[in-house]
Amino acid sequence: MRTMVKRAMRRSIVECLLCSLLILILSGPAFGGPAVFGGFPPDPAVCYQPPDPPLILAQSSRSSLTEEEREFEEQADTMPDPLEPINRFFFNFNDKLYFWAYKPVASGYKIVVPEDVRLGVKNFFSNLTAPVRLVNCLLQANFKGAGNETIRLLLNSTLGMAGFLDPAKKELGIEKSEEDFGQTLGVWGMGPVFYVEWPFLGASSLRDAIGFTGDILLDPKTYLIKSMPVGLAIRTYDQVNDTSFRIGEYEDFKRNAIDPYLAKREAYHQYRKHKIKNR
């Protein structure tokens, strides 16, 4: 059993690796190097506007606004970054990757495929990872989120035509609970440790990188898809489809930053903190 899981995981990771290579090949410019890939953890620079905020807006848990506002005078809370030179190198690498590979491929795809279809595909892939969110909700003792995810999975998989439609949200207003294992570790009290900018993967932290591995274990795709080329094609397609919704956001983000690397690192830090707090 354990070897099976291990094998499945290894395959998934290899698929992730190859997936980005495929995008590169599709995009034209020859571009070698090691490749790791996945849509996860969310890169705040790219998904500057996460699509689905948690259903229940947490009523502010801060003790007092005034207190919080005084704190700013003192040292701000930033993410430790001992690997900065390496991180900056990969930041530039990812930046080029976006402009040379993701953007052209996703732009072409966007022209050819109508929005409704792309949205359906996005819903479909999102529905597949419902178990990841469900388990993480449970691990965080977020029973409302777990209940919502269960309803969503059942409803969207059936009436929602295998997840292509989202009747749970459209008809009932039940939104996704974007929970992942990195957040679970955060809820359990683990800090981000330090910032990591992965090539291909983008912004992450040591904690969220561990979380990412955990989520692969919970992803049904890891077990369902036996053939590697198929898994690879699926992950690649998911990524391109996702990017097609976000073209322009990274450009905006970059234009407005004085030091885009620092802006990305801090945005990632704050965004993850916010997600962990508002579960």
Partner 1 sequence: MRLSVITMNRIVIIQAFLFLSFTFGMVSPAFAGEPQDQLRQTTDKVLAILSDPVLKSQNKVKERRELILKVVDERFDWEEMARRSLARHWVQRTPEEKQEFTHLFKELLERVYMDKVEGYSWNKISYEGELIDGDYAAVKVKVFTAKDQTIQVEYRARKKGNHWLVYDFIVEGVGLVNNYRTQFNEIILKSSYQELIKRLKTKSTQN
* Minimum distance of partner 1 from residue 203's CB (angstroms): 12
61 contributes a contact to partner 1 by CB under 8 A: no
> Closest distance between partner 1 and the C-beta of residue 234, in Å?
22
Q: Does 115 bind partner 1 (CB under 8 A)?
A: yes
Compute the distance between CA of residue 243 and CA of residue 38 in angstroms, rounded to an integer.
Answer: 12
Selected binder of partner 1 within 51, 80, 104, 131 (CB under 8 A)? 51
Nearest-5° angle of CA 103, CA 97, CA 192? 110
Residue with smaller CB distance to partner 1, 3 or 75? 75
Taking residues 232 to 261 in sequence order and writing x for each that binds partner 1 by CB under 8 A, - otherwise, the string is ----------------x---x--xxxxx--
- What single letter denotes the amino acid at residue 67? E
Stretch that binds partner 1, among 73-81, 95-103, 184-192, 231-239 (CB under 8 A): 73-81
Task: Return the DSSP state at 227.
Answer: -
Residue 157 contacts partner 1 per CB under 8 A: no
Minimum Å gap between C-beta 57 and partner 1 is 6
- In the complex, least distance from residue 171 CB atom to partner 1, rounded to whole angstroms: 6
Which of 172, 224, 228, 230 forms a contact with partner 1 (CB under 8 A)?
172
We find the least distance from the C-beta atom of residue 127 to partner 1, in angstroms, to be: 14
Token pair belonging to 84: 């900065």
> Smallest distance, Å, CB 243 to partner 1?
15
Q: Which of 60, 92, 213, 227 binds partner 1 (CB under 8 A)?
A: 60
List the one residue from 44, 182, 192, 214 that touches partner 1 (CB under 8 A): 44
- Other beta carbons less than 10 A from residue 212's beta carbon: 21
Contact status: 49 vs partner 1 (CB under 8 A): yes
45 close to 161: Cβ distance less than 8 angstroms: no
